[in-house]
Amino acid sequence: MEETTAQQTLYLVMGGRVSDPRTMEFKDPESVHVVGVYSDYETAEEMWRANAQRTVDDAEMKYVVVHLHKLLNPSL
């Protein structure tokens, strides 16, 4: 009998100053703020929201949730 294992999901929350608010090009990639890595989307979204709301008045600041598991295993 073949055992099915669930794939681990990982979400990275990060943000920084972008050159254009309509893009994802960071002005200084080395200074990107890494909020953290989370195993569930709900927590990642909560952390994204907290940081995005903290910088809401600065149009050049952008925070994102990156689906790391999709980068590590593109077949997902």
What CATH number was assigned to the domain covering residues 11-72?
3.30.70.2400
CB–CB of 39/9 below 8 Å?
yes
CB–CB of 45/65 below 8 Å?
yes
pTM of the model: 0.83
Q: Which helix (H) or strand (E) is 67 found in, with range?
A: strand 61-67
Terminal Cα distance for the chain, rounded: 23
- What pLDDT is stored for residue 18 in this prediction? 96
Q: What is the pLDDT of residues 6-24, one digit of tens each?
A: 788 999 999 999 999 899 9
DSSP state, 25? -
Residue ranges covered by each domain of the chain: 11-72
Paired tokens of 26: 């960071």
Strands of the sheet with 61-67, listed across from one edge: 33-38, 11-17, 61-67
